[in-house]
Amino acid sequence: MARSILITGGCGFVGSNIAIAFRTRGDRVTCFDNLSRPGSGLLCRRVQEHGCAFVRGDIRAPDDLKKCKGDFSLLIDASAEPSVLAGSDGRDALYVVHNNLTGSVNCFEWCRKRSVAVIFLSTSRVYPYDRINALRYDELPRLFRLASRSKGVSGSGIRPDFPLDGYRSLYGATKLAAEFILREYSMNYNIPAVIDRCGVIAGPWQLGRADQGVFTHWMVSHYFRRRLAYIGFGGTGKQVRDILHIDDLICLIDAQIKVIHKYRGEVFNAGGGARAALSLRQATELCRSITGNTVPIGSVRRNRPADIKWYITDNRQTEQEFAWHPRREAEQTLVDIYGWLKSNHALAQRLFRVNL
């Protein structure tokens, strides 16, 4: 049966890909966005070309959300200031709080008034970086490897029961606060809701930058032969992340929508998992072999605020709950980004000249 879905942040990387995938399967999809992310105007045209409706507005303004009229059954909240560095120098602190917390609460309030279910795209950044960095690691020639076991973490990755006491960045804190509010809304007002704590997501149509969308940034820099730098943890590029391909996230959300009536704000990890994990050094090797290009890579020893030495998603609970499994390994995701750049060369040239 066709679903009627509102996607806030529907002209961003994640929102626009979900919108087009669901619209293509026959759902009615409306994308709501203030077009604040550079390049989102282009994704806005793209979603409309695929038959999605578009409403321009800001989630910080409840009256803008009222412009979304219709009989919606689900809201997917994919609107955020997604950079972990946002707010780190204090100047844009209130912007991050208003955008990521007040804005999301406005979305939940919109859902409460209309009895609309919610899927909230949260982040692995809710897990405190100081606790993660304090774990013991072996330093291997190409990557850091976890050498200790403690509550909520094993070689398979970080689980949702990893302790939450610690520092996580204003980005992580606003997303965690929004999670807490959504849980209360969901339970108190009987609104079906699922929270996905996503790790690094990547894929075609991501307008990746050094501070957000790093693996796309890595591939784009190789493709256009641009200089890169390993930043933090001694500047050797051994820090590890797993990559979730956008298409695997879409499969998960699709599975969750089908049973969302059962959930009241439960939290699930969503990442590429151990099979899709790699260090920046390993990403460099893959980007070189996929593009045939070698770019100069500088080295900055000092960490940036909230940098993480190692993060792999332990998805086991999510996989069991939704009979879902991320299928694409890191190499496949990088190959797909390369294919997208190649088949949209002129557009990518324009886009990334603007963004870099």
- Give, for 109, the enclosing helix (H) or strand (E): helix 103-114
Least separation in angstroms between CB 217 and ligand NAD: 11
Least separation in angstroms between CB 188 and ligand NAD: 23
12 binds ligand NAD (CB under 6 A): yes
Least separation in angstroms between CB 199 and ligand NAD: 6
15 binds ligand NAD (CB under 6 A): yes
Give every CB contact of residue 178 below 8 A, 6+ residues apart in sequence.
Answer: 100, 101, 104, 105, 120, 122
Identify which range of 28-36, 89-97, 254-262, 277-285 contacts ligand NAD by CB under 6 A. 28-36
- Between 14 and 351, CB nearer to ligand NAD: 14
Give every CB contact of residue 284 below 8 A, 6+ residues apart in sequence.
Answer: 218, 222, 228, 237, 297
Contact 117, 260 (CB under 8 A): yes
Cα–Cα distances (Å) from 234 to 144, 231, 276, 280, in that order, read 12, 8, 24, 13
User: Footprint of ligand NAD on residues 64-123 (CB under 6 A)?
Assistant: 78-82, 99, 103, 121, 123
Residue 306 CA to residue 160 CA, distance in Å, equals 19
Choose which of 4, 36, 133, 355 interacts with ligand NAD (CB under 6 A): 36
Least separation in angstroms between CB 14 and ligand NAD: 3
Residue nearest to ligand NAD (CB): 12
11 binds ligand NAD (CB under 6 A): yes
Contact 120, 179 (CB under 8 A): yes
- Between 35 and 293, CB nearer to ligand NAD: 35
Least separation in angstroms between CB 296 and ligand NAD: 26
198 binds ligand NAD (CB under 6 A): yes
- Between 15 and 192, CB nearer to ligand NAD: 15
Q: Which residue do the tokens 């209309």 mark?
A: 114
Largest CA distance in the chain: 56
Least separation in angstroms between CB 32 and ligand NAD: 6
Residue 168 CA to residue 130 CA, distance in Å, equals 8
Contacting residues toward ligand NAD, per CB under 6 A: 8-9, 11-15, 33-37, 40, 58-60, 78-82, 99, 103, 121, 123, 198, 200-201, 213
